Amino acid sequence: MSSSEETGPASTPASPPAQAPASGPRPPRVTALAALCGLEALTLLGAGGYLLVMGLLGRPDSPRQAETGGLTVIALALLPLLAVRGLLLRRSWSRGPALIIQIMALPVAWTLLQASGIWIPAGIALAAVAVTGLVLLLHPTTTEALGIGPGARDSTGD
């Protein structure tokens, strides 16, 4: 009896979320959010690559620290890349990685705003991208397109 109860609810909820996000065209807000996450991923890859190259070829105070920092930033770039893929495929799980990246960007932007010179415009740009990403992530059109909401939660068993 419990196996039929598990089979029934398990098969029913798995079908609607997988089909619901795939039906219809992708909303422009989701595409814009994927583009922002892609921009963040490219920026992180560039910064990580720069740190890694400078650690290997330059003369930093601590080459090992520069190389480790570069590899860490490159690894962090995988999170927004994962979010981009999920957003373009309209998967509900993609909202988590995208949200994490936007939230992590805000303290970095604040730190850049406390610096001087070229870092202040960089902080403004990063804050603008992060806030725009959060607005797009929390917009009802995005949550609906990703199959997230009160009805979707009941059907997934959360």
Instruction: Give the model's pLDDT for residue 138.
Output: 93
- Residue 156 identity (one-letter amino acid): T
Question: Tokens representing 109?
Answer: 């932007």
Instruction: Give the model's pLDDT for residue 24.
Output: 77
Q: From the CB of residue 54, how many other CB atoms can be counted at a distance below 10 Å? A: 16
Q: What is the pLDDT along the chain (158 residues), one digit of tens a residue?
A: 444 444 444 444 444 444 445 567 899 999 999 999 999 999 999 999 999 998 999 888 888 898 999 999 999 999 999 999 999 999 999 999 999 999 999 999 999 999 999 999 999 999 999 999 999 999 999 999 999 876 554 444 44
